Structure 1
Amino acid sequence: MFIRKAALAAAAIAAFATLASAQGVYDLSPQQPGRPRTQPNPAAIAAIAGDARLVEPGVLTVATNASTPPLATYATDSATLVGADPDVAQLIADSLGLRLKLIPTPWADWPLGVASRKYDAAISNIGVTEQRKEKFDFSSYRAGLHGFFVKADSKVGKIAEPKDAAGLRIVLGGGTNQERILLEWSKQNVAAGLKPIELITFDDEANRLLALSSGRADVIVQPHAQLLFIQQRDRNIRRVGVLSAGWPERSDVAVATRKGAGLAQAITLALEGAYRDGTFDAALRRWGVEEERLEKPETNPRGLPKY
């Protein structure tokens, strides 16, 4: 069963942020006193290619999507960008001896913006794919994960493989990678003589959560970090599993720069330095996404294959 509806409420995102801040779960103040900072990294600075050109001299201009808390959202002033991705961007800028300029950017707009030199980089929960590597360089820093979450009182205990989801009604975003994966899971279940998975799709998160809370769906699937934020905010859902965003492959999340811009290796070295001095781990911990830490950053790691 496929149900598609569209809408996205920016006001709702702001309300979510205010509520989470009031509960003391996340620091969504514009001041960000706990944001980790690091020192200039000489090796990273030296790795910037001689012909690299920044949008503004002395400034690292970074695009990020402000609609995905806790990865990136607006602070309680509705203007300042905060979250795990802005924190990572700050550490990279510090390491390269640059001032950070964050630009709120719809997710679909980052490729053109980076390719046209409107932004030096995009840090916006971007997965590495072989197709994207044809136009962009990548510096990986997080694992791409989806989460399986259920109502707090659900009888569903664990979802780790296709058979665990047989016969369940799962709500998710239409046209997403999660949908592609779960369609394949459902095919495998049917081939094994199990019940198919019933997929219910909505474009907006509010309707997905309503479907779960009202009992129309048994499980919600979307990016893991977003569901962790909702769990802390609403206190009425719980995690029953995680899934690689590139199942059956590993999926790396990375900083994207224009192909051949001369910045990727410098950014990777900047991330390596932040790994060593602990500031990278501190950035992930303060937003609850430390489980998504990669073992080490890499320049242009293997990406998901073309489908």
Structure 2
Amino acid sequence: MTSARTRPARTRLARRAPLAALAAATAALLLLAGCGSSDSDSDSGKGSSGTGATAAKSGDTAAIPTQDVVSAIATDPTLAAELPAKIRDSGKLTLGTTKQPGTTALPHAGEVDGKPVGLDVDLRNAVAKVLGVEWDIQYGTFPTVIPGVQNGRYDVGQDNFGVTKAREQVVDFATYLNDGQAFLASKDSDLKSVTQITDVCGLHISTGSGSTFQQILDANKDKCAAAGKKPYTVQYVTDQAASLLGIQNGRVDVVFGPTLGIKYEASHIPGTRFLGEVSTTPVGFVTARNSPVAKALSDAVNKLIASGDYAKIFAKWGLPGSGIPQSQVNPPATL
């Protein structure tokens, strides 16, 4: 592992005493991560801000948009009829996902006052309303959700799963957004922007283990040598708070994560900078191969797009224009 002492000056983060604002913001994130938990979903979160845009400008990590953009959505009987009779009779779809306490995984998912909140939470609850069912939430871990869908433990999996060729061999996807792969750094970093993976050669990167981000870094590790640059080194974590602390204490140079999440963090955490995006990937619900549930989910997303409810959810989280024009079942994978 390359140490801070041996990194070239041109790629080294400024090693002044940790920024007070960044340290305080990170501490706030960790404090919120200690919030209580719940086994059921809610249609809206609690917080001090009425809109995602206001929350982003406030710099207050506890400012969570509160407006209800789900409860008024009506069931579409035609789409509900696409679900298997067993699910229609029970009125429930079992969802496998991971618990995300606090706010470090927003805008996708978080938990405040014991209630799940986030873009993904609102989207799945809106889909459930269209299909006339409720979610039976079952919590697992990121590596176990897809196997749980395969073995029938869950009807659906959701955990910001990017569409990949390997995953499409074992599950079906019903897409609901596009997310990218982007970098975050301290504002004191010598690095001002990233447009391609070779821009981070020689740096120490923090990212999630078992993710598409790990896959991308592994697949591109030889590009630094080909460009005549030093290789990057990677620290794999299971908690985004660890990555944020890594920036704050200077142990990592950049965080590699989902574009929507990285943008959200950059707007909420003082002393950080969004560096840029290097690629994009469709993200979707996962179901068993050849399950009729995948088409029902995709059709429900398209119903939300057509009605305008989909755009309202993205606007709530301060991400207008970030959605997809159409949901697909098993789109061509780029990874």
Q: TM-score, normalised by structure 1?
A: 0.79
Unpaired runs of 5+ in structure 2? 4-28, 38-45, 56-61
Give the alignment of 1:147-226 within 5 angstroms.
147-174=182-209, 176-226=211-261
3-state secondary structure, aligned to 1:103:
strand
Q: What is aligned with 2:154?
A: 119
Matching of residue 35 in structure 1 with residue 69 in structure 2: yes
Q: What is aligned with 2:110?
A: 73
Structure-2 separation of matches of 1:264 and 1:184: 29
Structure-2 separation of matches of 1:173 and 1:137: 23
Choose which of 29, 33, 41 in structure 2 pairs with 1:13: 33
Matching of residue 96 in structure 1 with residue 134 in structure 2: no
Do the aligned residues in 1 keep the contact of 2:205 with 2:234 (CA within 8 Å)? yes
Deviant stretches of 4+, over 6 Å: none
Pair 1:206–1:86, CA change in 2 (3 A): closer
Deviation at 1:140, TM superposition (A): 0.6
Number of residues of Structure 1 aligned to a counterpart in Structure 2: 287
Structure-1 separation of matches of 2:283 and 2:108: 12
CA distances 1:137-186 after superposition (whole Å, capped 9, x unpaired): 22111113222111123332210013422333333345543234234444
Q: What is aligned with 1:239?
A: 274
3-state secondary structure, aligned to 1:181:
helix
Percent same amino acid at aligned positions?
A: 23
Pair 1:131–1:177, CA change in 2 (3 A): closer
Deviation at 1:12, TM superposition (A): 5.3
Deviation at 1:63, TM superposition (A): 2.6
Give the alignment of 1:128-139 within 5 angstroms.
128-139=163-174
3-state secondary structure, aligned to 1:54:
helix
Q: Bigger shift: 196-205 or 258-267?
A: 196-205
Structure-2 separation of matches of 1:109 and 1:56: 28
Q: What is aligned with 1:293?
A: 323
Give the aligned residue type for 1:64.
Answer: T
Give the aligned residue type for 1:260.
Answer: N
Unpaired runs of 5+ in structure 1? 4-8, 245-249
Structure-2 separation of matches of 1:291 and 1:2: 39
Do the aligned residues in 1 keep the contact of 2:92 with 2:133 (CA within 8 Å)? yes
Structure-2 separation of matches of 1:215 and 1:145: 25
3-state secondary structure, aligned to 1:196:
coil
Structure-2 separation of matches of 1:179 and 1:89: 26
Structure-1 separation of matches of 2:86 and 2:140: 21
3-state secondary structure, aligned to 2:185:
strand
Q: What is aligned with 1:247?
A: none
Q: What is aligned with 2:97?
A: 64
Deviation at 1:95, TM superposition (A): 0.9
Q: TM-score, normalised by structure 2?
A: 0.73
